[in-house]
């Protein structure tokens, strides 16, 4: 079965406790369990990982090449700052769906720009944890063998 990586970045380990009015009350464990279940429905094995460290995330993206068919990525604040993460995604040439729980375009101006978006298949923002489910469905469709 094809596998995909669901990679969450800095501060997302605090989901459920962190600014619940912005990020909701769902914990990261809940999100990851939901991703595994969505993957199963879509015929994908889902491997979840979270890191607060940019370099660890870059290593995970490199390691995904040859291991996973694609990546669902919530890079947290690195979305807005990290050219290194963008370069890692461009280097591995894997389909990446960018996810944000909150609608980054309706928040502070510094959150409106994403370094990830130009190298991603697309971006899903503002739908809370459901965004991960949508991203997995998009990736599953994208990874379907073309006949």
d(CA 85, CA 129): 22
Give the separation between CA 127 and CA 8, rounded to whole angstroms. Answer: 16
Q: Does 115 bind ligand DHK (CB under 6 A)?
A: no
**Which residues, 68 to 107, sit near ligand DHK by CB under 6 A?**
74, 76-77, 79, 100-102, 104
Q: Site mask, ligand DHK, residues 25-64, x = CB under 6 A?
A: ----------------------------------------
Could you say which of 78, 100, 115, 132 is catalytic? 100
Buried b (16+ CB within 10 A) or exposed e, 54-64: beebbebbeeb
132 noted as active-site residue = no
Residues designated catalytic: 23, 100
Interface residues with ligand DHK (CB under 6 A) are 11, 74, 76-77, 79, 100-102, 104, 111
Binding residue positions: 74, 80, 87, 101-102, 111
**Which residues line the annotated binding site for substrate?**
74, 80, 87, 101-102, 111
């Amino acid at each position: 079965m094809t596998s995909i990586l669901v990679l969450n970045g800095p501060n997302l380990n605090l989901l459920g406790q962190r600014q619940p009015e912005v990020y909701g009350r769902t914990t990261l464990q809940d999100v990851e369990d939901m991703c595994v279940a969505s993957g199963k429905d879509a015929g994908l094995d889902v491997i979840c990982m979270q890191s607060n460290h940019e370099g660890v995330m870059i290593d995970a993206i490199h390691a995904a090449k040859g291991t996973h068919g694609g990546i669902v990525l919530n890079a947290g604040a690195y979305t807005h700052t990290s050219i290194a993460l963008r370069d890692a995604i461009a280097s591995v040439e894997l389909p990446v769906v960018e996810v944000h729980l909150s609608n980054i375009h309706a928040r502070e101006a510094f959150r409106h720009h994403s370094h990830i978006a130009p190298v991603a298949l697309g971006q899903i923002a503002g739908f809370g944890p459901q965004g991960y489910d949508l991203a997995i469905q998009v990736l599953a469709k994208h990874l379907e063998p073309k006949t």
